Amino acid sequence: MKKNEAPSQIMDKERSISTFISDIKSLFKAGVLIANVLPVFTGFWLALHFSNQSFMDNINLFVLTIIGSTLVMAGALVINNWYDVDIDTIMARTQKRPTVTGHFSLKIVLALGIVLSIVGFILLLFTTIEATVYAFIGWFTYVILYTMWSKRRYTLNTVIGSVSGAVTPLIGWAAIIPGIPLLPLVLFMIIFIWQMPHTFAIAIKKYDEYKAAGVAMLPVVRGLDVTKRQMVVYIACLLPLPFFLVQLGTTFIVIATILNIGWLVVAIKGLFTKDNLKWAHANFLYSVNYLTILFLLMILVTIPY
């Protein structure tokens, strides 16, 4: 502390630093970004395991893959914030984003999103072309097809947006092994299907905000009953997928099946409940933990002992 600084000045600086960190986390959607890194790592890890390669022998490739894919995803999320500033102003959960508060100018945010995306793609080009292509598919789907085209127009925006998250394990896998055999394809399907009930749960929780902002989410356009039924159907579609991953062993299949049945039970209860917000929140929490446990389990069952 400088001698000529008053306590109030120090507190102001601390608040400024805290606000800046909060703004950065909000701009990059830190939770979403971190959640997308795990499937990339899982795809990379499983590719190493099934090709009998050492992690340490591929450490440089791993760093390029993780940093490159993370920057691409961060770029896409930042551009999403830039484009959605008008509806973010209306929705309570997004009103503290720096694009809304004016802490960051929109020009800087757009430039940052573009730079992050380009740097990410350049880094991925040092892995494999295939991994870069999958990253581009995810980026293009999220930024162009979801954010700029379908989000405000069609309830299918959730289906379209799900593709961007589902390609993450393919990026990690393709950095090691070319082609798409059954295993990474099943990982793609798990995340793709998972995102539907996960996103619907959020849309039910934030129904009033999405309605006020004019976002074409399924509960807003088709109602809660239709959304609940679709959630049950999508979760039921997850049931057979663990059985296509026999390479991961019986323990994985049993635990994954228990997780699927548990989520299906939670979803079915929603067909008979009147407390939609409480039920939607329970589904949201289950979905977040579900994906984390499932992908961590894939890594744990393939760790050599």
Is 20 inside any structural domain?
Answer: no
Is 266 inside any structural domain?
Answer: yes
DSSP state of 230: H
Is 11 inside any structural domain?
Answer: no
Is 4 inside any structural domain?
Answer: no
Tens digit of pLDDT at every position of the chain (305 positions) = 455 555 545 444 555 777 778 878 788 777 888 888 999 999 999 999 999 999 999 999 999 999 999 999 999 999 999 998 989 888 877 778 888 888 888 999 999 999 999 999 999 999 999 999 999 999 999 999 999 999 989 999 999 999 999 999 999 999 999 888 999 999 999 999 999 999 999 999 999 999 998 899 999 999 999 999 999 999 999 999 999 999 999 999 999 999 999 999 999 999 998 899 999 999 999 999 999 999 999 999 999 87
Is 226 inside any structural domain?
Answer: yes
Is 51 inside any structural domain?
Answer: yes
Q: How far is Cα 132 from Cα 72, in angstroms, rounded to an integer?
A: 10
pLDDT at 3: 53
Instruction: Count the neighbouring beta carbons within 10 Å of the beta carbon of residue 148.
Output: 14
pLDDT at 18: 73
Is 6 inside any structural domain?
Answer: no
CATH code where residue 47 lies: 1.10.357.140
For residue 99, the surrounding DSSP H or E stretch is: helix 98-101
Is 70 inside any structural domain?
Answer: yes
pTM metric for this prediction: 0.91
| Owning domain of residue 82 | 28-300
As for how many domains the chain has, the answer is: 1
pLDDT at 11: 46
Q: Kindly provide the b/e burial profile for residues 237-274, where b requires at least 16 CB atoms within 10 angstroms of the residue's own CB.
A: bbeebbeebeebeeebbeebbebbeebbebbeebeeee
pLDDT at 19: 77
